[in-house]
A and B are shown apart, each in its own frame.
Chain A
Amino acid sequence: ETGVTQSPTHLIKTRGQQVTLRCSSQSGHNTVSWYQQALGQGPQFIFQYYREEENGRGNFPPRFSGLQFPNYSSELNVNALELDDSALYLCASSLGQGGQYFGPGTRLTVL
């Protein structure tokens, strides 16, 4: 059984740029959730995808968007990057309302 994988591991961008982060869900899982974890804080829910549609969003602006593909993998896109977007971005997969299993994350630094 393959766990949740994320790419890239680290990323450095400058303010105003756009970034795409990728996530492959755990085998058999059909739901993907994205979280932002600032240094020293708990993860904050960005949004969730189920059957290729967004079915819930946390308190994040529209410049945070995503996609889910037929194989349940997912992308997180962030436009017009701001310095405060620097964080660890975590993807979690689940099956229905089961437990959410996290990937290792992508560390994004915005300069």
Chain B
Amino acid sequence: QQQVKQSPQSLIVQKGGISIINCAYENTAFDYFPWYQQFPGKGPALLIAIRPDVSEKKEGRFTISFNKSAKQFSLHIMDSQPGDSATYFCAARDSGGGADGLTFGKGTHLIIQP
């Protein structure tokens, strides 16, 4: 059972455009939703995270939108740059379960064309 579904699998955006990646979850106990950026040969880097008591969080060019009733959240990258080309993962965590293990989506390979 895949608890976090991520789409699209790959995405091509022109420089300066908006990149949008979507995730949907099933477990209503999830209470923390981070996004990670991973470059080839590197570990994932924490970009931005949100908790379900807010509907939107913005940090620089990165924004998370969260819809609790639909059990969906998305990452928006404004003014996308070639340096943003990477694989992006959404994740979720049930903090009340004891361990803080993250459940990841399968990733989105983002290419920003110059």
Taking Cβ atoms with an 8 Å cutoff, the residues of A that contact B are: 4, 31, 33, 35, 40-45, 47-48, 55-58, 90, 92, 94, 97, 99-105
Contact = CB atoms under 8 A, between A and B. Distances in A.
B100 interface: yes
Given A42-B89, A90-B44, A104-B42, A97 B32 contact: yes
Contact of B100 (A40, A90, A94): A94
B29 interface: no
B69 to A, nearest CB: 24
Given A102-B44, A104-B43, A105-B43, A42 B98 contact: no
Given A41-B107, A43-B89, A43-B104, A48 B46 contact: no
A43 B35 CA distance: 13
A44 B107 CA distance: 12
Q: 5 closest A-B pairs (Cβ-Cβ)? A: A56-B99, A42-B104, A45-B101, A102-B43, A48-B99
Nearest to B43: A102
Interface of B: 6, 32, 34, 36, 41-46, 49, 89, 91, 95, 97-107
Contacts of B107: 40-42
B101 A48 contact: yes
13 contacts: A33-B102, A42-B91, A48-B100, A55-B98, A56-B97, A56-B98, A90-B44, A92-B102, A97-B32, A99-B34, A104-B42, A104-B43, A105-B43
B99 A99 contact: no
